[in-house]
Amino acid sequence: MSILKDLEFRGLLHQITDREGLDKKLSEERVVLYCGFDPTADSLHIGSLLPILTLRRFQLAGHIPLALVGGGTGLIGDPSGKANERTLNGPETVEAWSQSIKGQLSRFLDFSTNIENSAELVNNYDWLGSLNVIEFLRDVGKNFTVNYMLAKDSVDSRITKGISFTEFSYMILQSYDFLKLNETKNCSLQIGGSDQWGNITAGLELIGKTTESRAYGVTLPLVTKSDGQKFGKTEGGAIWLDANKTSPYQFYQFWLGTADNDVIRFLKYFTFISHEEIERLEVEVQTQPEKREAQKLLAREVTKLVHGGEALESALNITAALFSGNIQELTRKEIEEAFKDVPSSTLEQEDMALIDLLISVGAAPSKRQARQDIESGAVTVNGVKVTDLDAIAKDLGRLGESYLVIRRGKKNYYLAQFK
């Protein structure tokens, strides 16, 4: 099956220029393509995962992906999809974020030097940073009319609120990226999110006016949830690809919680499992949704892709331990990961009574309530129910040498660490 047919099956072809011509080119030669990622934070989030994995699909199909880090355009700010002007970050910050993002992109693409279609990381600051403004305006800017730029959605949507000349110029800079990669890397295809259509087609116009090359563009769909909620956001904020910002356990749980109405679409988008397996799971979601096999497979596959097999095993261990209540075998690292977002307290008094401990960590508002909870069997410590009103903290054992995991009721967890 051709790469475009696979993308079509997975619902990943939102917009495409010259489908017939691109399909023919992809079938006849090894195509160089690129996608850009501006460093707007020290980590990418899962909103960037779809284009990253699409680059990977093209590489697996034999083509050559260029992952572009926008060290230059990141200093300007992309107006696409934004209602207001971005806050400009300093060169040192953008450079540090660029280096961090380079490392993340390296996890998904094969940069081996012993293969013919090795991926390559590029940074557009390498050519944008040394541009002469007069030459740029004469040689590049003259190819764009203001009317043409105003007609693009990324600009038109901002006209009423206002857009700075800085962000207005972003489209020309990204177009120049495509031209530069076309000239130096023989890159003939740019992919991006649906909000990048205007920037991509502008790049195609520039290449058409200044070279004899034939180039193409493909955009991917905006990922949304069936209930209308924004994809990739939780009550705790964005889901990041950095394990220090979103732990592998939290990452796994995010995907495990996918709704039945979304899970098949997300399996198509974010995994590399076969068409046949997806179609089998689609039937199962419709006939046996209580098994949640599709959600479990989605969570395993994406967590392994992003964080690796060892992190996936840890996430599975934590999930199983919390489900069964048997948390005694969790490692110190797994305890810290599992209870990262629960109320936590650092305590010194080892001979503290359990009643006082419950108040100290916020599990009970008063001694009276604490006694009632203990007597009714609503309190567990380190997975063991405690009903002794005279229990002392130091006698309740430790997880990871210093932790007490306290649960009040079925879902309310608190973490106490003794120095």
Closest alpha carbon to 63 in 86, 91, 35: 35
* CA–CA distance, 19 with 150 (Å, rounded to integer): 26
Nearest to 205 by CA among 172, 183, 181: 172
Nearest Cα neighbor of 340 from 269, 264, 248, 408 is: 248
pLDDT computed for residue 367 by the predictor: 93
Element (H, E) at 36: strand 32-37
Distance CA 258, CA 264 (A): 10
User: d(Cα 130, Cα 343) in Å, to the nearest integer?
Assistant: 50
Q: Flag whether 170 is marked binding.
A: yes
Q: How many residues does this entry show for the chain? A: 419
Nearest-angstrom CA–CA distance, 33 and 177 = 12
What radius of gyration, in Å, describes the C-alpha atoms of the chain?
26
Mean pLDDT, rounded, for 279-303:
95
Q: How many CB atoms lie within 10 A of CB 287?
A: 8
Confidence of residue 60 (pLDDT cuts 50, 70, 90): very high
Is 403 part of any known ligand binding site? no
CA separation (Å) from 316 to 61, 173, 248, 312, 322?
31, 44, 10, 6, 10
Question: Does residue 159 have a pLDDT over 80?
Answer: no
Residue 234: pLDDT band (50, 70, 90) is: low
Q: Which of 95-104, 258-267, 336-345 has the highest mean pLDDT?
A: 258-267
Q: What is the pLDDT of residue 235?
A: 63
Q: What's the confidence (pLDDT) of residue 88?
A: 73
The answer to the question of whether 82 is labelled as a binding residue is: no
Q: What is the DSSP string of 90-150?
A: PHHHHHHHHHHHHHHHTTTS---TTSTT--EEEETHHHHTT--HHHHHHHTGGG--HHHHH
CA gap 243, 247 in Å, rounded? 5
Q: Is the pLDDT of residue 81 over 70?
A: no
Q: Classify the C-alpha dihedral 87-88-90-94 as positive or negative.
A: positive
